[in-house]
Chains A and B, each alone.
Chain A
């Protein structure tokens, strides 16, 4: 059975970093669609029997008409592929959900009720497949959708049993607000394979005693906690197991970088250090400047971010460095500042290791106050 799994596409996402930049917001939304289109292309390429979409295809119920038409056209373009959608917590089946209000192509099935089973027979493989699925009806689902009246389904082991569902893999006794899929349960049921959605990180195929599951992760990263390469899965699944390849689909990647600025004594040097780490101009970067700032270095982080914003699609700079100070010279200074340093050093000496960091900051702030306004170097 040739399958493609694409999860958590979150089409029409909000992209809060581009709230005030409508053109980039539109671009990112188009890029999400392009990433999703790769799943369609892959399904066409391998002649997939099924395209499994375990939830959060849409970021919200009120997606644009264009997006709905895009999806319908995409699904129509692969008429030989059966598209299975299990609505998730972001796109639950509610009366005003497009899953209910729209007419979808014939090759699309959306799990709108509780646990259902769909049986398909394929002449080319001679296989009968039973696909189980369920959809969210609200943003939360605290009881397991796999259980109907607290009873697990009993599977016919003579057919290929697959599960497509959105939820949290949970250890026995655990709890989740988003459809706890207990490991014990799927193992007890003995699905041949489970295509799951909700976690945005690719999990790899996880094998349990009697079953296996996978989270493909999202197909296009939306924020800086989705920095791994995003993609879809494509391959085959049989009674003997699943062989799936991870296919990257990210149009634009998110990256988090730490840069140590210790020893860099010019503004241009800092900018160059950032450029040397952040090589791809079309990506999104969150850069944290760490280490010690040279005492003679004047570093207006806001201005730096502003200048680099013209070079990168998106860059955010977070100052997390400390101002280095030559305490040895200062403590001997015959001045109020010197007196301040000496008093602070006395306190630091008597402080516990946990308090020392606080005193270090207090010293830095006090010395800043001697020079001028106390600046926290926050990026705004």
Chain B
């Protein structure tokens, strides 16, 4: 960085001051209280702003003395081939400050990152590093700590290099990488981007799976619905083809009913038959003996009549002449004939009576039977010829008809049994229809409910697309995570190397510069691994050739050592093509003339060798080398 122009509108005691530093060493020269330090502080304020801390804050300290003057100014500088211009108008606080960075070649306003100062953006070092390397305030080469622990300061100097801000052994770069890793995936709280993406993907995949499950089940149910409907249709078709024949059923029922009636009639007829048989047998039991008796009696009467007729004529019945009655009968033949005839008639009458008694039962039975048969024929639908003479005919007809009826009955019974089974089948059919209807309705309703549930979960294709996009994003973040891990590893490795190298690098570089500053007296500056500084004295005295800690040396020597360290540090931490300047506020105030001359030569050589710039302040009256650009504050 080479500062080209400083225009102070209002800053502390300065108002309308313009300074034009050049490459090499520049000296802002003036009397005491002429504002030399203020001019140096202006550069810092333009690059890093003003601090607001405390009662003696910089903002208050450098408020323009003159009223009505704008607090701020302009700074033009060149860094890494680009010309920049910074304009600043400071307000009551940082929020009120208006600081604008321009590309001084094109006039384009350069956008600034939020929260970053110009110094951080362009010089790429934080303010603390600037304060510890680039800018040395007056009499601040020594540390401010009471103990004057230069090791601590050196440690801070070294560890503050390379944009590191830390209060611990962790380096800021490492913290930033860790922060980036945590932003991707934090083991502590699962709030990293990757964690969130993975959670979203899990959620999305779960939703897709739910939808798939819902729809798969819905599809199965719809298939089952179709299958059940098909089966129900088949059942209905089968059932429809087996229609009931009502006429036939009626006929069969009638036949069954008729059979009962017929059976009753047959039963009665059979009873009649039995009664008739019994009556006939009884008649027969009466008639036989009666007939025998009748015949005997009639024969007897006949014999009597013969005997009377043939009284005394037949020798065979001569024995009867001894019977008084016979003689009497023979005497009155007519009377005997009448008596015998009457007896025979009476016998005949008696026989006829007895005969008829037996027959009336039989006749009654027959009549009953004939009546029943007639009724039966009426039921059977056949003709009946009443009378004994037609009995066989009637019976034959009846039997024939009964046989026919019997066949019909059997058929009707079988038919109705079948129909009864069908009733059971019908019942089962109705039960089946009800069952199928319920299952069909259930299947369809369930399928629709599942489809609705799927709808409510989301659009499957859209969710699947989102899942794929999330997978892509997750892969991207996983790659980033891997890359960050590698960066972290390599940083750790580099840091170890840097720490190992830093001491000797610093020591060597600072040693060379210190040698120039001290005219060769001290050039062996050691920076140990813990950045402890030791110097080896080269000439004369008790300390010659030995290494001693810096604390044993004089203040001026310590100043020289710190200057050497600053020059070495600036050289080491500057980026290629962009050497950082040094802003030194009265750095040689403790030097005697010889040391001053050495110091001037050293810094001049440094700027020439490194194409850099040093701006220092000094009191009026000092003499400077010709190549120094001296800017008198009175003259400006």
With contacts A362-B483, A372-B116 known, is A340 near B491, CB below 8 A? yes
User: Which 3 pairs between the two chains have the least Cβ-Cβ distance?
Assistant: A374-B180, A362-B486, A361-B483
Q: Can you list 23 A-B pairs with a CB-CB distance of less than 8 A?
A: A60-B455, A60-B459, A94-B448, A94-B452, A96-B448, A139-B215, A140-B212, A142-B219, A266-B108, A267-B111, A330-B576, A334-B505, A334-B572, A335-B572, A339-B495, A340-B491, A342-B494, A343-B494, A361-B480, A362-B483, A362-B486, A366-B173, A369-B487
Q: Please determine whether A358 and B460 come into contact, CB atoms closer than 8 angstroms.
A: no
Q: Which of B57-65, B87-95, B156-164, B425-433 contacts A (4 or more CB under 8 A)?
A: B156-164
Q: A138 and B177: CB pair below 8 A?
A: no
Known: A16-B462, A361-B479, A361-B483. A336 touches B173 (CB 8 A): yes
Report the minimal beta-carbon distance from B508 to chain A, rounded to whole angstroms: 11
Chain A residue nearest to B164 in the complex (CB): A336
Contact B161 A336 (CB under 8 A): yes
| Residues of chain B within 8 A of A14, CB atoms compared | 459, 462
Contact call A359/B486, Cβ cutoff below 8 A? yes
**Residue with the greatest number of chain A CB neighbours at <10 A, chosen from B113, B226, B452, B491:** B491
Q: Does B575 contact A (CB under 8 A)?
A: yes
Contact status B491-A366, CB under 8 Å: yes
B454 touches which of A139, A266, A337, A368 (Cβ 8 Å): A139
A333 to B574, CA, bound (A): 8
Is B176 close to A, CB under 8 A?
Answer: yes
Query: When the two chains form their complex, are residues B177 and A298 in contact, meaning their CB atoms are under 8 A apart?
Result: no
Q: Which of A275-320 contact B (CB under 8 A)?
A: 296, 298, 300
Q: Which of B226, B462, B497 is close to A339, meaning CB atoms less than 8 Å apart?
A: B497
A336 and B576 contacting across the interface, CB-CB below 8 Å = no
- B209-231 Cβ-contact flags toward A at 8 Å (1 or 0): 00110011011001100100000
A366 to B455, CA, bound (A): 47
**B451 in contact (CB, < 8 A):** yes
Interface size on B, residues (CB 8 A): 61
- Chain A residues with a Cβ closer than 8 Å to the other chain, count: 54
A92: contacting residue among B451, B482, B571, CB under 8 A = B451
Say whether B180 contacts A373, CB under 8 Å.
yes
A residues within 8 A CB of B110? 298
**Smallest CB-CB separation from B124: which chain A residue?**
A371
Partner of B215, one of A60, A96, A140, A343: A140
Task: Report how many A-B pairs have Cβ atoms within 8 Å.
Answer: 149
Contacts A335-B572, A336-B498, A366-B173 given; indicate if A95 touches B490 (C-beta within 8 A). no
B501 in the interface (beta carbon within 8 A)? yes
Q: Enumerate chain B residues within 8 angstroms of A296, measured Cβ to Cβ.
A: 82
Contact A369 B494, beta carbon cutoff 8 Å = no
User: Does B577 sit at the interface, judged by CB under 8 A?
Assistant: yes
List the interface of chain A (C-beta within 8 A of B). 14, 16, 60-62, 90, 92, 94-96, 114, 137-143, 225, 266-267, 296, 298, 300, 329-330, 332-337, 339-340, 342-344, 347, 358-359, 361-366, 368-374, 376
Q: Is the CB of A362 within 8 A of B459?
A: no
Contact status B494-A339, CB under 8 Å: yes
Contact B163 A371 (CB under 8 A): yes
Is the Cβ of B482 less than 8 Å from the Cβ of A358?
yes
Partner of B487 from the list A138, A139, A365 (CB cut-off 8 Å) is: A365
332-358 of chain B: CB within 8 A of chain A: none
Contact status A369-B176, CB under 8 Å = yes
Chain B residues whose CB sits within 8 angstroms of the CB of A339 once the complex forms: 494-495, 497-498, 501
Docked complex: B79-99 residues within 8 A CB-CB of A:
82
| B:461-487 near A, CB below 8 Å | 462, 465, 479-480, 482-484, 486-487
- Tell me the complex Cα distance, A369–B226, Å: 65
Of all chain A residues, the one with the shortest Cβ separation from B225 is A137
Bound CA–CA A196/B414 (angstroms): 61
